[in-house]
Amino acid sequence: MENPDQRFQQLRAHIADAEQRYSRTPGSVHLLAVSKTHSAEKIRALINAGQLYIGESYLQEALPKISQLADLTSVRGVQWHFIGPIQSNKTKDIAENFSWVHTVDRDKIAQRLNNQRPENMPVLNVCLQVNIDGEPSKSGITIPELPELAKNVMSLPRLKLRGLMTIPARSQNFEKQRLPFKQLRLAFEELNKNGMGLDTLSMGMSNDMEAAIAEGATIIRIGTALFGTRPPIT
């Protein structure tokens, strides 16, 4: 069994190889370590090994870990990314504790995050979540809805619109995995043609990171390939 540090080094090497394979600029694919269900001590070890972007999906679980790691966070410049569904009564805690939010999919949430982002913190980086397969059970807006939400978010002074995020339906087939990522990239390019200046495509997880890198991902969100299989949520 590999240890976590070996997995981290292997993953970094894998990302560098994939960048080269798909003619991506070296260093243009950023690793977001998704640490849900994993302890603050495991995250601390990873930060000490050099990882700076940490992603969490559940606020109740994330807040204690963020405070347990506050000592390291401020010294190293660690960034906490919120990647879970957002309920409106949770926006204040998100606005006060995270550098990034990947899952904004409605105006009301964007406005609340903007109003609740403390003045003494940098602006909150935001990605809009796109429901790329149109599965009714999933969060996210459709591609036709993007321009309007993007425009509204751009007008909010305490938020910085960085790009788009998606979680496609699971597939084991490489070409099938690429399709939704390509659709997201085309939507992103379309917004940029209209002067939005976006720089982030948050797409790809352990199972489909290769396809996401091939299609232009700038942040891949990786849990299992980094920490091993998650314990079941009880």
Ligand X SMILES: *Cc1c(COP(=O)(O)O)cnc(C)c1O
Instruction: Determine, following the binding rule CB under 6 A, whether residue 139 of this chain makes contact with ligand X.
Output: no
Task: Identify the three-state secondary structure at position 96.
Answer: helix
Strands 100-104 and 219-222: unpaired
CA 177 to chain centroid: 18
- Least CB distance to ligand X at residue 195 (A): 28
**Cβ-based nearer residue to ligand X, 34 or 184:** 34
Among 29, 31, 34, 203, the residue binding ligand X under the rule CB under 6 A is: 34
The distance in angstroms from the start CA to the end CA of the chain is: 25
Among 11, 95, 167, 201, the residue binding ligand X under the rule CB under 6 A is: 167
Q: How far is CA 41 from CA 66, 97, 98, 206, 224, in A?
A: 11, 19, 19, 22, 17
- Least CB distance to ligand X at residue 16 (A): 18
Instruction: Determine, following the binding rule CB under 6 A, whether residue 205 of this chain makes contact with ligand X.
Output: yes
Instruction: Determine, following the binding rule CB under 6 A, whether residue 36 of this chain makes contact with ligand X.
Output: yes
If binding means CB under 6 A, how many residues of this protein chain bind ligand X?
A: 13
Instruction: Determine, following the binding rule CB under 6 A, whether residue 83 of this chain makes contact with ligand X.
Output: yes
Residue that has been written with the tokens 């405070």 in this structure: 67
- Least CB distance to ligand X at residue 188 (A): 18
Residue nearest to ligand X (CB): 223
Scored b (16 or more CB within 10 A) or e, 206-233 reads bebbbbbbbbbbbbbbbbebbbeeeeee
Distance CA 52, CA 9 (A): 14
Instruction: Determine, following the binding rule CB under 6 A, whether residue 109 of this chain makes contact with ligand X.
Output: no
Q: Which residues bind ligand X (CB under 6 A)?
A: 34, 36, 57, 83, 167, 205-207, 221-225
